[in-house]
Amino acid sequence: MQLTVGNIYINDLQFGPRTEVKGKTLFVNKEELTELLLQDEHLQSVTIEIAHPGDSIRIMPVKDVIEPRVKPDQEGGIFPGLVSKMFTAGVGRTHVLKGVSVVTTGKIVGYQEGIIDMQGPGAELTPFSQLHNLVLVAEPVPGITPHQHEAALRKMGLRAANYLGEAARSLTPDETCTYELLPLHEYHSRYPDLPKIAYVYMLQSQGLLHDTYYYGVDVKNIVPTFMHPTEVMDGAIVSGNCVSACDKNTTYHHLNNPVIHDLLRRHGRDLCFVGCVITNENVTLLDKQRSSDLTAKLVAYLGVDGVIISEEGFGNPDTDLIMNCTKIEQKGIKTVLITDEYAGQDGTSQSLADGSPLADAIVSAGNANALITLPPMEKVIGSIDPVEVIAGGFKGNRHPDGSITVELQAIIGATNELGFNKLTAREY
């Protein structure tokens, strides 16, 4: 089996009478898309706007970012088990509209979500400032529950991405990449001299709207599971999180997970990438012990020499990260951890909430507590009102000239723990 991904590069995004790609421009029929999204009875209104790289625009509070994709050889879109029919992802053919995204904002559940600046110093800290963004500003109907509200916004973004993805169905990609999918024993026999590597993919699942979905299932309800790496490229993993913006894995992050893409790029050359073990991040000690025990057992069963482990979030999930690391290392398998740090605004506090002598190979995605002042923008899509109460904000951080001071954790993707960012740290 194999997956072929065809990339179609988009250089501009505009409204038009039809949703289609002409040249390198994606045109969107705003009225048709609005009508589609308002079929959800939980949404009272949806406003659609466009933000281009370099625009004097601030988007906040951002819930999710999604990249449009389509399976050209089958009906329906991607995101199986959520807004598309159920299918096994990661095989066949997938077309991707590169350079554009769907961003969801407006009135959201809670105010831990963050900021995308399309220009200035904040733009340098988020990858989404480099995209042509179709921004959906949603207003829910009165009286719905927080969980209904979250689900409506999540599905709104996925439906919009599926809608845009249809424009790529019959196009000829600018480039293609094909990935092989082998039975486990064939990886070992075909690459006997290469180190066998697996990826332990920790997914946020602490509940209270700190959720991630795997084929439509809330991952706090699953046990560690083996997954082909290409499944994420077809939307098998979707964000449902209302968490700190800096290290939140949006659906865009999952679709373009750089750990998976880098391992696949090196597969068959200097390593053999056998696949992913997805596991959750729990709240209770018993659940943490169970998941880490089963993760270590599954990794050992794969017969690998080393694993990369990434987490999502901080504090409580640090314990899951260290438990996974310790138990896998105790089985004689080397680990490398990817995390970010909450070391205080001056960088002198304890970076992680847990630790182990066996966690001796760690990649840092930066200190989320570092401060930055963001200049005023000519336009805000969404609302500036939550800026004092979002994670990374604080009372008095709005200045008379319209600028704001926040910690990096207020910026979407600033210290992303998949390494999808520009920050790191080094030891002196």
Strand partners, 338: 310, 363
What does the pLDDT read at residue 219? Answer: 93
What does the pLDDT read at residue 62? Answer: 94
* pLDDT tens digits along 131-168: 999 999 999 999 999 889 989 999 999 999 999 999 99
Decide if 375 contacts 348 (C-beta within 8 A).
no
Mean pLDDT of 108-121: 86
Q: Inform me whether the pLDDT recorded for 127 exceeds 70.
A: yes
Record the pTM.
0.95
* pLDDT tens digits along 366-401: 999 999 999 999 999 999 999 998 989 999 999 999
Mean pLDDT of 265-287: 95
* pLDDT tens digits along 27-45: 999 999 999 999 999 999 9
What does the pLDDT read at residue 112? Answer: 65
Question: What torsion, rounded to 10 degrees, do the Cα atoms 129, 421, 245, 35 define?
Answer: 40
* pLDDT tens digits along 336-373: 999 999 989 988 888 888 899 999 999 999 999 999 99
DSSP 379-410: EEEE-SGGGGTSTT--TT-B-TTS-EEEEGGG
CA 129 – CA 365 distance, rounded (Å): 19
Q: Inform me whether the pLDDT recorded for 428 exceeds 80.
A: no
Q: For residue 12, report the phi and psi dihedrals to the nearest 5 degrees.
A: -155, 155
CA 216 – CA 219 distance, rounded (Å): 9
At residue 37, the 3 state secondary structure works out as: helix
What does the pLDDT read at residue 426? Answer: 67
Task: Tell me the CA distances in angstroms from 373 to 120, 245, 261, 386, 401, one per residue in order.
Answer: 10, 16, 33, 16, 12
Domain segments of the chain as ranges: 2-410
Of 108-112, 366-370, 400-404, where does mean pLDDT reach its minimum?
Answer: 108-112
Q: Inform me whether the pLDDT recorded for 10 exceeds 70.
A: yes
Catalytic residue among 242, 246, 272, 325: 242
The residue written with tokens 């507590």 in the block is: 369
What does the pLDDT read at residue 209? Answer: 76
Query: Cβ contacts of residue 152 below 8 Å, gap of 6+?
Result: 40, 42, 43, 138, 140, 144
* pLDDT tens digits along 314-339: 888 999 999 999 999 999 999 999 99
Catalytic residue flag (residue 276): no
* pLDDT tens digits along 64-90: 999 999 999 998 889 999 988 999 999
* pLDDT tens digits along 197-230: 999 999 998 877 788 999 999 999 999 999 999 9
Using a pLDDT cut of 90, give the percent of the chain over it.
84
What does the pLDDT read at residue 77? Answer: 86
What does the pLDDT read at residue 350? Answer: 86
CA 340 – CA 425 distance, rounded (Å): 9
What does the pLDDT read at residue 352? Answer: 87
Cα–Cα nearest to 198, from 364, 309, 338: 309
What does the pLDDT read at residue 111? Answer: 60
pLDDT level of residue 113 (50, 70, 90 thresholds): confident
